[in-house]
């Protein structure tokens, strides 16, 4: 999985993958979807959600306990990949 290289581990990568579907999810909903892909506890998922939130990767939906990928972070990552592709285009 490509995302593992960007985050602190497999759980973080799966959380980002789950949230990339574009639907706001609660911690419990995220856990249920992550648990389908990896053997992990709710506490581990919740801890990684807090880490990703602190890093600015995910954000809370206003007035809810649901999470989405942070649009600002998405733009930064998108810019990184575009620049990386441009750099490699010259090398090929």
Q: Is this structure's pTM higher than 0.85? A: no
Give the residue among 7, 2, 3, 89 at the shortest CA–CA distance from 48. 7
The DSSP code for 65 is S
- 82: Cβ–Cβ under 8 A, 6 or more apart, which residues? none
Rounded to an integer, what distance in angstroms lies between the CA atom of residue 25 and that of residue 5? 24
Domain ranges of the chain: 2-91
Rounded to an integer, what distance in angstroms lies between the CA atom of residue 21 and that of residue 16? 9
CATH entry, 2-91, from 1.10.10.10, 3.40.50.720, 3.40.50.2300, 1.20.1630.10? 1.10.10.10
Q: How does pLDDT run along the chain (92 residues), one tens digit per residue? A: 345 446 567 899 899 999 999 999 999 999 999 999 999 999 999 999 999 999 889 999 988 999 999 998 888 887 777 887 888 887 66
Q: Can you count the helices (H) and strands (E) in the chain?
A: 4, 3
């Amino acid at each position: 999985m490509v995302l593992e290289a960007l985050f602190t581990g497999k759980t973080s990568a799966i959380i980002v993958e789950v949230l990339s579907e574009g639907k706001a999810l609660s911690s419990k909903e995220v856990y249920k979807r992550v648990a389908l892909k990896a053997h992990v506890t709710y506490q581990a998922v919740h801890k990684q959600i807090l880490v990703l939130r602190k890093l600015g990767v995910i954000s809370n939906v206003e007035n809810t306990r649901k999470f989405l990928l942070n649009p600002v972070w998405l733009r930064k990552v998108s810019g990184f990949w575009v620049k990386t592709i441009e750099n490699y285009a010259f090398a090929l």
